[in-house]
Amino acid sequence: MTGTIRLQREPFDAAHEAAKLVRGRTDIGAVVTFTGICRGEEAGAPLLAMTLEHYPGMAEAEVTRHVEAAEKRWPLLGVCVIHRFGHLSPGDEIVLVVTAAAHRQDAFAAAEFLMDYLKTRAPFWKKIESARGTGWVEAKQGDDALASRWVGNPRERAAAE
């Protein structure tokens, strides 16, 4: 099972996408919906606009690889990932991750895993226009640390900590 993966300029409807995953099913007991939104300030300066550049082809391939990894790791009953590109304004949705499972722990964990990897591995780049000027957003080291916590077998990692 590989879920819905879409890269698009257009807005998405998070509630609609979550409803589509569970419609007609009684095996799903938990749905986690995460929406990333364009904030109206960056480092203390008002943000006027954001442009998301992506690498067509690779972006789809990379998201698909991570959805497949999530499906191997947790018993998911549905996944949806939508990432927008192009011009965005403060308040606009950027990314949607929906995960469905029988139990909430699997749905929460898979959604966090997917977001951590989207942040650090999916080929997207944010350029922002603020009162201070225009520039590319720098990658945060904290995001790399969040992604690296998923590396390896969870039991091995717990033993090492």
Instruction: Figure out which of the listed residues 42, 77, 80, 83 binds other proteins, where binding follows CB under 8 A.
Output: 83
Q: How far is CA 147 from the centre of its chain?
A: 12
Instruction: Tell me if 150 contacts other proteins by CB under 8 A.
Output: no
Instruction: Tell me if 90 contacts other proteins by CB under 8 A.
Output: no
Instruction: Tell me if 36 contacts other proteins by CB under 8 A.
Output: yes
**Residue with the two structure tokens 């995001």:** 143
CB-CB neighbours of 101 under 10 Å: 24
> For residues 73 and 110, is the Cβ–Cβ distance under 8 A?
yes
103: left (phi over 0), alpha (psi -120 to 50) or beta: beta
For the CB of residue 96, give the shortest distance to other proteins in the complex, in Å: 11
Angle ∠(116,40,93) on CA atoms, nearest 5: 50
Instruction: Tell me if 47 contacts other proteins by CB under 8 A.
Output: no
Q: Which is nearer to other proteins, 55 or 108 (CB)?
A: 55
Residue ranges binding other proteins (CB under 8 A) = 36, 52-55, 57-58, 61-62, 83, 94-95, 115, 118-127, 136-139
